């Protein structure tokens, strides 16, 4: 592999180019993606606040620097704004002379009394100061702007250094700032800006001058710094693919690792390493985790997806150091694999069932007991779901639920927590448990993040639902629910996981009954209050999900109440039925008709409709049509044919309209009036078994 590869992309240069570079001690790689975003957002806002227009704004990061490059107009935009002052009768006396109020207002805003204008607003007339600010040269403003941009940045962890008071993610060693090829001078906490930058810490540590913007990127490259992380990613993958193909392998895809590694280096240099094939019998996930977790190495696989005894390490050095890097990497990975092998072999000596006592010694939460207590709650919830949906799988589900947390006290999972569930699967297979149980243990944490895959098996789905339901019920019971941006127990993500499983698997379960089952495993007095709180929490998760799937707001409102006591899959089916019905020609006429029903239908219960009290033919026809279509609608609802149920209901459109056009509902006779209201109420009740049409519009 050659030294720093040249790119075909020309350096980004234009007139009035601004470059700001903040040079630091090594910044943790996990901070840098967010830092790039914040630098761009904050800079854009601050430049706009100063009325500076820019055509582009790009931000970059390496472990030792944050950089901003932007093409900015040479002149600030001129400004003219109106500032409203006191009423005219308070600003001038009867003789038209300015009062102290007018004088103070004019002085505050830097205008002469004579320049105040009068404008009407509402019922009064007020004095207005028209404040004009001329356009200043951008160069004259940057000494104020650039320090503000730097100070605006915040990080998960910041620090002070030396005797200074300024806090930043790591100590700042230099600040380089130029605009239109001129140095912009400013100072932050004793650190003075200049037009000097530095190259790679070891390969080119000396400072060097940036005389003009067009040479900035190339000079960095010549000093072993590739500024653009996307360029670094491409270089890493191109080299890694070439190296892996030399041993008939390919790189195991890992976008997160690639991004992390790209922010660990300024001069990426991938190296091919190997390890003994004797380690390949270890679980694949364990080997990959050791390589990526501790060493940030890329695993390699063959054409069948099986791991090969090779890896790619990415170093921050020159090609002529590759052999030294390879030997060091192989030595380290051998030691890591030996540790992993030891833990795995020791773990296999203990049956998962024998680890249950170990769970009693691990506190899950000081107010929720041990991991063993949590396991028992999961068992209770899982048994409830199994009895409702999978009675034939109850024994396997019960066993899997009981063993679900046992791998947490194994050596491997204590060392590699991200392998929870995965190692339980391997240990269960080793202990002789059937595939349904072992696979359920593996799938219990799915989906682990937004967009993650769902459990494939029913047993895995039940464990996942049970675990997540227990978490939500337990922490809501303790009052530890998400607030604002705070969600320390990831309850929002877990609620979305529950929703996704229920909709995808089409289980005949509603959220209310599941939450109730989870709450009943806890020692709780105010179960109804907590249940209502959790149901609101789920509603808040479901509505954005449906909106993101392009369902309209009014359609969602029409079905949102159904999530309380209907299976979620049928709620989604109702939503699809509404969306389809909206495209029909009879949608608008029916909606007008049903709104006439909803506008007058009584809120309270009414006596049964008595056909003997009908006076006019139109009420008799409407009654008979309703009685005729109702059984058909209920049959369609039972068959989960919601669109067809809506279409059946639309046959009442004409009878409803004729009824209202000819019949006076509020008859003088109380008995007749109540009977007509009863007829209307029956139609409303029937319609609301499908969706809440009153919320469509």
Question: Which pLDDT does position 9 carry in this prediction?
Answer: 41
In this structure, the answer to whether residues 601 and 482 fall within a common structural domain is no
Q: Are 91 and 116 in contact (CB under 8 A)?
A: yes
The yes-or-no verdict on residue 180 having pLDDT over 70 is yes
Among 133, 155, 172, residue at a domain's last position: 133
C-alpha 111/C-alpha 83 separation (Å) is 11
What's 157's domain CATH number? 3.30.70.260
Q: Do 505 and 461 meet the contact criterion of CB atoms below 8 Å apart?
A: yes
Are residues 119 and 250 located together in one domain of the fold? no
On whether residue 9 sits in a domain, the answer given is: no
Q: Tell me, what CATH number does 691's domain have? A: 1.10.730.10
What pLDDT does 8 receive? 42
Residue pair 659/637 in contact by the 8 Å Cβ criterion: no
Q: How far apart are CA 650 and CA 669, in angstroms?
A: 30
Residue 2 domain-assigned (yes or no): no
Q: Which domain covers residue 626, as residue numbers?
A: 582-695
**Is the pLDDT assigned to residue 6 strictly greater than 50?**
no
- Can you tell me the distance from the alpha carbon of 175 to that of 197, in angstroms, rounded to the nearest whole number? 8
Specify whether 334 is located in the same domain as 253: yes
The answer to the question of residue 465 being in a domain is: yes
Residues 410 and 544 in one domain: yes
pLDDT digits (tens, 9 = 90+) for 538-549: 999 998 889 988
Confidence of residue 466 (pLDDT cuts 50, 70, 90): very high
Instruction: Tell me, yes or no, whether 59 and 163 share the same domain.
Output: yes
Cα 673 to the center of its chain, rounded Å: 54
Q: What would you report as the CA-atom Rg of the chain, rounded to the nearest whole angstrom?
A: 35
Residues 380 and 500 in one domain: yes
Same domain, 638 and 532: no
pLDDT band at 79 (very low <50, low <70, confident <90, very high): confident
Query: What is the percentage of the chain residues whose pLDDT exceeds 70?
Result: 98
Same domain, 70 and 119: no
End-of-domain residue from the set 526, 550, 574: 550
Torsion of CA 236, 237, 240, 241, to 10 degrees: -160
Domain presence at residue 573? no
Domain count, the chain: 5
Confidence of residue 278 (pLDDT cuts 50, 70, 90): very high
How far, in Å, CA of 204 to CA of 200, rounded?
5
CB 656 within 8 A of CB 551: no
Closest CA to 307 of 249, 257, 255: 249
Residue 8 lies in a domain: no
Whether residue 633 is found in the same domain as residue 602: yes
Q: What phi, psi does 195 have (nearest 5°)? A: -105, 25
Residue 422 vs residues 286, 434, 557, 638, 673: alpha-carbon distances, Å: 9, 15, 40, 40, 67
C-alpha 496: how far from chain center:
11
Lookup result for tokens 């230099």:
174
Q: Is 567 a domain residue?
A: no
| 320 within domain boundaries | yes
Q: Verify that 291 and 247 share a domain, yes or no.
A: yes
412 with 481, same domain? Answer: yes
Whether residue 44 is predicted with pLDDT greater than 50 in this model: the reply is yes
The CATH number linked to 445 is 1.10.3210
329, 347, 365: which is the final residue of a domain? 347
Do residues 62 and 211 share a domain? yes
Is the distance from CB of 443 to CB of 464 less than 8 angstroms? yes
Residue 52 lies in a domain: yes
């Amino acid at each position: 592999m050659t030294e720093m590869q040249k790119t075909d992309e020309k350096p980004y240069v234009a007139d009035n180019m601004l470059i700001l570079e903040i040079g630091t001690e090594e910044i943790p790689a996990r901070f840098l993606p967010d830092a790039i975003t914040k630098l761009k957002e904050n800079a854009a806002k601050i430049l706009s606040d100063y009325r500076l227009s820019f055509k582009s704004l790009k931000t970059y990061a390496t472990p030792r620097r944050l950089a901003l490059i932007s093409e900015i107009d040479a002149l600030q935009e001129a400004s003219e704004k109106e500032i409203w002052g006191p009423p005219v009768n308070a600003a001038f006396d009867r003789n038209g002379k300015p009062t102290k109020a007018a004088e103070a207002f004019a002085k505050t805003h830097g205008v002469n009394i004579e320049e105040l204008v009068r404008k009407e607003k509402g019922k009064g007339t007020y004095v207005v100061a028209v404040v004009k600010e001329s356009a200043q040269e951008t160069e004259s403003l940057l000494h104020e702007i650039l320090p503000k941009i730097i100070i605006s940045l915040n990080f998960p962890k910041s620090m002070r250094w030396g005797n200074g008071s300024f806090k930043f993610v790591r100590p700042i060693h230099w600040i380089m700032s130029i605009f239109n090829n001129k140095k912009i001078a400013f100072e932050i906490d004793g650190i003075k800006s200049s037009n000097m930058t530095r190259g790679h810490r070891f390969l080119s540590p000396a400072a060097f001058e940036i005389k003009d913007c067009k040479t900035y990127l190339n000079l960095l490259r010549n000093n072993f710094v590739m500024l653009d992380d996307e360029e670094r990613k491409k270089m890493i993958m191109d080299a890694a693919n070439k190296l892996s193909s030399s041993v008939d392998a390919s790189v195991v895809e890992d976008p997160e690792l690639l991004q992390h590694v790209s922010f660990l280096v300024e001069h990426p240099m991938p190296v091919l390493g190997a390890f003994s094939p004797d380690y390949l019998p270890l679980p694949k996930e364990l080997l990959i985790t050791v390589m990526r977790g501790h060493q940030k190495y890329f695993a390699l696989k063959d054409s069948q997806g099986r791991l090969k005894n090779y890896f790619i390490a990415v170093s921050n050095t020159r090609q002529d150091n590759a052999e030294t890097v390879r030997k060091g990497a192989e030595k380290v990975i051998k030691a890591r694999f030996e540790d992993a092998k030891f833990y795995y072999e020791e773990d296999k000596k203990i049956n998962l069932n024998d680890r249950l006592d170990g769970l009693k010694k691990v506190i899950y939460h000081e107010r929720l007991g041990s991991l063993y207590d949590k396991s028992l709650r999961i068992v209770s919830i899982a048994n409830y779901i199994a009895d409702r949906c999978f009675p034939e799988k109850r024994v396997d589900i019960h066993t899997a639920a009981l063993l679900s947390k046992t791998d947490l006290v194994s050596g491997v999972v204590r060392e590699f927590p991200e392998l929870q569930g995965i190692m339980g699967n391997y240990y269960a297979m080793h202990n002789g448990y059937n595939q349904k149980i072992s696979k359920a243990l593996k799938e219990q944490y799915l989906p682990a993040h937004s967009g993650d895959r769902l459990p494939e098996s029913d047993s895995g789905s039940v464990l996942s639902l049970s675990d997540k339901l227990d978490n939500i019920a337990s922490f809501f019971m303790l009052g530890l629910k998400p607030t604002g941006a705070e969600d320390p127990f990831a309850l929002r993500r877990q609620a979305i996981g529950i929703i996704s499983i229920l909709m995808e698997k089409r289980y005949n379960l509603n959220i209310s009954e599941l939450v109730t089952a989870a709450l009943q495993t806890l020692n709780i007095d105010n179960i109804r209050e907590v249940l209502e709180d959790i149901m609101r929490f789920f509603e808040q998760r479901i509505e954005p999900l449906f909106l993101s799937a392009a369902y309209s707001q009014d359609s969602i409102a029409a079905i949102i109440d159904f999530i309380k006591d209907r299976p979620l899959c049928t709620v989604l089916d109702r939503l699809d039925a509404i969306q389809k019905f909206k495209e029909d020609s009879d949608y608008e006429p029916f909606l007008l008709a049903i709104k006439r029903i909803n506008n007058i239908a009584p809120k309270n219960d009414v006596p049964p409709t008595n056909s003997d009290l009908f006076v006019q033919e139109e009420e008799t026809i409407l009654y008979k049509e309703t009685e005729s279509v109702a059984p058909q609608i209920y049959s369609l609802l039972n068959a989960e044919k919601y669109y067809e149920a809506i279409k059946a209901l639309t046959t009442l459109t004409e009878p409803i309209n004729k009824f209202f056009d000819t019949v006076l509902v509020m008859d003088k006779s109380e008995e007749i009036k109540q009977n007509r209201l009863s007829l209307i109420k029956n139609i409303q009740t029937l319609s609301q078994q499908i969706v809440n049409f009153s919320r469509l519009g």
